[in-house]
Amino acid sequence: MSGASKHLATAHSVVEPGPWAKRIAGTLVVLYALITMIPLFWIVTTSIKTPPDSISYPPKIFNFTPSIEGYCNLFTTRSRQTQEYIESLGPATSRCDQIARDRSMVVVGESNYWPRFVNSIIIAFGSTFLAVFLGTLAAYGFSRFRVPLKDDLLFFILSTRMMPPIAVAIPIYLMYRELGLSDTALGMILLYTAINVSLAVWLLKGFIDEIPREYEEAALIDGYTRMQAFFRVVLPQATTGIAATAIFCLIFAWNEYAFAVLLTSGTAQTAPPFIPTIIGEGGMDWPAVGAGTTIFLVPILVFTILLRKQLLRGITFGAVRK
């Protein structure tokens, strides 16, 4: 290597950060990630502790014996029985049964956690699908056609996000009671769709604006209808935007708590309001709550990992123009 090129190889680039800057930035990112992981770590470890371990003081961080008691308690209902009664029963039918008997209880049935979890899936995915579907059509319309009062309409759509949705909780509660939508999956899907659709329209409009019109014009000339051009040419190119938007909508609908508490109590109750109601003997059953929360985190985690590229693109969207 000649002197000049050696010099070039070690020279600082104007745009590339230097090695030290990179190391410091990397350390900071890892630190930040660790700090944000603490609550998650606590939830997951709590779910595999025994109830006494979960509330011991000083707290047991690593020095506890793992147990599946939390998960057993999450999925079952139990009743306290006398020692004589328990001894009169046959041998325990499962490990959960054995754990319950050790605590002088017997398993009497399944808990409501699983139906609530299914409700969450139906409502969150249903409302996400509707919000993204309607949002894509609306965004396409706003992006491509001469809509009268377009800017005012777009501002109006955005303005629905300017107050916390819970501010209209009471009118919605009354409305839903009158319409018979209280505690129904349909009601919750409509509500979350209404809240998410404005975000979906705005996000997707940005993505669709970036797709050159020539593609559709080419399709229109090639003999396709506007609808066919939309489905065959625009949609395939908007998949990134659609995926990013879907994640944002899903995260909101999946985690929503306030409306779920207010409007659902039984058949349509979602997991978030159900989890805090898991009460054990003599206080909160923290391992069961931890178990419920851990399982609740799984779908969103999987969905986000599957679409993480699109999510990143959605976050940095608009920062760099082509």
Partner 1 sequence: MAEIRIENLHKAFGDFVAVKNSNFVVHDGEFLALLGPSGCGKTTTLRMIAGLELPTDGAILLDGENVTFNRARDRDIAFVFQLFALYPHMNVRKNIGFPLLAQGVPAAEIRTRVEETAKLLQIDHILDKPVSGLAGGDRQRVALGRAIVRRPKCFLMDEPLGTLDAEFRDVMVRELRELHNRIKATTVYVTHDQLEAMAMADKIAIMNKGVVEQFGTPEEVYNRPATLFVADFIGSPGMNFIRFEGALQAGDRAIQIGGAPVAVPEIHETLTKGPRVLGVRPEHVRFDPASPLRGTVYETEYLGTTQIVALELLGSIVRARTGAERSFTLGEELGVTFDAKRLSLFDAETGRAVDTALMREKPVAVEPRARKTAHG
What is the helix (H) or strand (E) element at residue 80, kind and residue range?
strand 76-80
Name which of 217 and 281 has its Cβ closer to partner 1: 217
Cis peptide before 58 (omega within 30 of 0): yes
Handedness of CA 24, 25, 26, 28 (dihedral sign): positive
Cα angle vertex 12, ends 7, 14, to 5°?
A: 135
Look-up of token digits 């969450």 = 120
Our CA dihedral for 178, 179, 183, 188, rounded to 10 degrees, sits at -130
Q: Does 215 bind partner 1 (CB under 8 A)?
A: yes
Q: Which stretch binds partner 1 (CB under 8 A): 63-71, 148-156, 180-188, 221-229?
A: 221-229
Q: Does 217 bind partner 1 (CB under 8 A)?
A: yes
Per CB under 8 A, the list member of 214, 266, 321, 322 interacting with partner 1 is 214
Q: Does 238 bind partner 1 (CB under 8 A)?
A: no
The answer to whether 70 and 47 have CB atoms below 8 angstroms apart is yes
Instruction: Report, in Å, the least distance between residue 218 CB and partner 1.
Output: 4
Q: Does 304 bind partner 1 (CB under 8 A)?
A: no
Per CB under 8 A, the list member of 96, 131, 233, 275 interacting with partner 1 is 233
Q: Does 224 bind partner 1 (CB under 8 A)?
A: yes
**How many residues belong to the site for partner 1 (CB under 8 A)?**
16
Q: Does 99 bind partner 1 (CB under 8 A)?
A: no
How long a stretch of residues is the chain? 322
Name which of 75 and 224 has its Cβ closer to partner 1: 224
Cα separation, 189 vs 181, in Å, equals 10
Residue 76 pairs in a beta bridge with 110
Name which of 222 and 281 has its Cβ closer to partner 1: 222
Cα separation, 177 vs 80, in Å, equals 38
Q: Does 236 bind partner 1 (CB under 8 A)?
A: yes
Q: Does 309 bind partner 1 (CB under 8 A)?
A: no
Q: Give me the residues that bind partner 1 (CB under 8 A), please.
A: 212, 214-215, 217-225, 228, 233, 236-237
